[in-house]
Amino acid sequence: MAQQQQQTLSGRKVAILTTDGFEQVELTGPRDALQAAGATTTIVAMNPGQVQGFHHDKPADKFDVGLTLAQAKPDDFDAVLLPGGVMNADKLRNSQHAQEFVQAMQKAGKPIAAICHAPWLLISAGLVKGRKMTSWPSLQDDLRNAGAQWVDEEVVKDGNWVTSRKPADIPAFSKAAIELIAARK
């Protein structure tokens, strides 16, 4: 009972930064877990309308965008979730608005949860130096070259960050993200 109360995220708001080409299960799995724990989630994307999810390289479902990156204010959110997907992560890392959003979240010490290819944005935002983290294995050289300590583990917690490698890690990733957000006052 005490553990359940600790993990309640009632009143917490989580931004999900994404754009077309995200790995659908890396958005829906953590989002559903966050919502089940009481959090309110908002898809924040580069453009208004909808974003296109993918199952690996095949188009999947579309999801409604709550706010554009230009409209979203980091002060309005308690945490940020970064789903992976190669196309999604590559587009977001080149977005100045996306970089500024995660930089502001980091400056405020707010939880950042990134899975698979999502750490590319954190690299481009200049935030990974000195961090212990994991990702999809093909990003390990990028992360190391940017100053991170890359490890091949299901979930890595480092301060206000939690990272994971792939869809199979989603249950552990979601649990760690909920614990991280719940622990922040």
> Of residues 55, 56, 97, 116, which has the active-site annotation?
116
Distances from the Cα of 162 to the Cα of 34, 108, 118, 132, 139, angstroms = 14, 16, 12, 10, 16
Residue 56: active-site member: no
Residue in this structure with the two tokens 């590319």, named with its chain if needed: 120
Start-to-end C-alpha separation, the chain: 20
Residue 117: active-site member: yes
Q: Where are the beta strands (DSSP E) in the chain?
A: 13-18, 22-23, 40-45, 50-55, 58-64, 67-68, 79-82, 112-115, 132-133, 149-150, 155-158, 161-164
> Of residues 55, 56, 97, 117, which has the active-site annotation?
117
Rounded-to-integer distance, Cα 31 and Cα 56, Å = 18
Give the strand pairing for 155-158 and 161-164: antiparallel
What residues are labeled active site? 116-117
